[in-house]
A = this chain, B = another copy of it.
């Protein structure tokens, strides 16, 4: 039997500002990556998302980012090892206050945006994040992009990991995601996208943008909840996975 976790970024609203349809997407996923108030989110939003997750049995993980609300955490910042370690630690703890209050266990950590990109290939940044997690709670699972150094470093420190795959993104030969600016970066045909997912999950293979057949491990699939089109796509993924005998369940 095959299985996959479906995760989505959530809790990205901030004060009067709304981003994403958390109330809808939470019906279709098994895991939520919740923003921690640095690049997005605030304590009111965190409380609401964690409460909804509790009600629906959705797992909650921390989605820490750079201290850059104006840039939504997507702008590269050059921070020291200790800054990254302590910033991640702070954000994990802040979110854990909500899961603990609702009698839940914080399940995982999935770095966001520019930090999330950098830690996939930068060993020092990955190490800083892994150290923060190890010192805080060795039971936390590290979500990393399939093939990335973050997974190796987390495993070398004895942490559990989950290899994340993407339905709508093309892969380079080294399993890094094709940059959004490059042609062919996005898999726009939904049926092709889903077939690629099924192949990644059942065969552990994906075809790169240059046509190479690559090994890939997929423990968790990233889906989006912005707008009706994204929601329809998630529903379609669920249907197809069920037909293909892929169970959708959290880790």
Main secondary structure of the interface of A (DSSP, over half): helix
Given A68-B67, A75-B79, A100-B93, A43 and B86 contact (CB-CB distance below 8 Å): yes
Distance in angstroms between the alpha carbons of A17 and B72 in the assembled complex = 9
Inter-subunit contact B83/A44 (CB<8 Å): yes
Given A15-B71, A69-B69, A71-B15, A97 and B101 contact (CB-CB distance below 8 Å): no
State the Cβ distance, A35 to closest chain B Cβ, in Å: 11
What chain B residues lie within 8 Å of A77 (beta carbons)?
68, 71, 75-78
Docked complex: A55-90 residues within 8 A CB-CB of B: 67-72, 74-79, 82-83, 86-87, 89-90
State the Cβ distance, A59 to closest chain B Cβ, in Å: 18
What chain B residues lie within 8 Å of A97 (beta carbons)?
89-90, 92-94, 96, 136
Docked complex: A9-57 residues within 8 A CB-CB of B: 14-19, 37, 40, 42-44, 46-47
What chain B residues lie within 8 Å of A122 (beta carbons)?
none
Task: Confirm or deny: A174 has a beta carbon within 8 angstroms of a beta carbon on chain B.
Answer: no
Inter-subunit contact B72/A16 (CB<8 Å): yes
Distance in angstroms between the alpha carbons of A43 and B36 in the assembled complex = 14
Closest B residue to A91 by CB, please name it: B94
Closest B residue to A106 by CB, please name it: B93
Inter-subunit contact B72/A15 (CB<8 Å): yes
State the Cβ distance, A15 to closest chain B Cβ, in Å: 4
Inter-subunit contact B90/A94 (CB<8 Å): yes
Chain A 128-146, CB-CB to B under 8 Å as 1, else 0, gives: 0000100111000000000
Inter-subunit contact B98/A93 (CB<8 Å): yes
Inter-subunit contact A82/B19 (CB<8 Å): no
State the Cβ distance, A220 to closest chain B Cβ, in Å: 24
